[in-house]
Amino acid sequence: MAEDPDSGKLREQFGISQIHFCAACKKPLRRVNGKMGPFWSCTGFPDCRTTLDDVAGKPSREPDEHYCCPVCTRRMVRIEAESGPPAWICTGSSRGCRVRLRDDQGRPEQAWRCGSCGHLLVLRHGRHGAFWGCSRYPDCKQTYNDANGKPQLDIFSAKNP
């Protein structure tokens, strides 16, 4: 990727090794040490209010890769596990969201939410076959019938875009 002529200066100014640009206004992003941990904010602020979560020292999202956590709507990021297949984790993990989804051809697998508590449903296998139970079981005992690999209640579908 071609570097902006100002990049060297910006790297110095912001003390970072690589410049990332705002997808909305194309201005450089800078890393901010916030109270809740580091994050990235657009240098076009306050005109542009883009912020991105920090993952391993980089803004967590590249343009066109925007998948939201079905539970808390924070961004999901793809991680390459040291062993096993890649997975998607919620960037709210440091703030208590435990959502972790399998990777389905470069996207997070489809997920559904519990109609009573809003947490994720998981496919379980009982004595009478497969069914969907709440991931908060035993705190939440909501269950749904399985219909071809989906919980039978479209109204609670929380498909990722």
Q: Which residue, 11 or 27, is less far from Zn ion as judged by CB? A: 27
- Closest contact distance (angstroms) between CB of 52 and Zn ion is 10
Question: One symbol per residue from 72 to 101: x for binding Zn ion (CB under 5 A), - otherwise; what is it?
Answer: x-x---------------x-x----x-x--
Cβ-contact 70, 111 below 8 angstroms:
yes
- Closest contact distance (angstroms) between CB of 47 and Zn ion is 8
Question: One symbol per residue from 123 to 152: x for binding Zn ion (CB under 5 A), - otherwise; what is it?
Answer: -----------x-x---x-x----------
User: How many other C-beta atoms lie within 10 A of the C-beta of residue 105?
Assistant: 5
Residue list 18-57, contact with Zn ion (CB under 5 A) = 22, 24-25, 27, 42, 44, 48, 50
* Per rule CB under 5 A, count of chain residues that contact Zn ion: 23
**Helices (DSSP H) in the chain: which residue ranges?**
7-14
Which residue, 84, 81, 75, 86, is CA-closest to 160? 75
Q: Which residue, 11 or 21, is less far from Zn ion as judged by CB? A: 21
3-state secondary structure of 157: strand
User: How many other C-beta atoms lie within 10 A of the C-beta of residue 71?
Assistant: 20
| H and E: helices and strands count for the chain | 1, 12
Q: Which residue, 11 or 156, is less far from Zn ion as judged by CB? A: 156
- Closest contact distance (angstroms) between CB of 132 and Zn ion is 10
3-state secondary structure of 29: strand
Extract the tokens encoding 105: 């051809």
Phi, psi of 35 (to 5 degrees): -65, -35
Residues that bind Zn ion (CB under 5 A): 22, 24-25, 27, 42, 44, 48, 50, 69, 71-72, 74, 90, 92, 97, 99, 114, 116-117, 134, 136, 140, 142
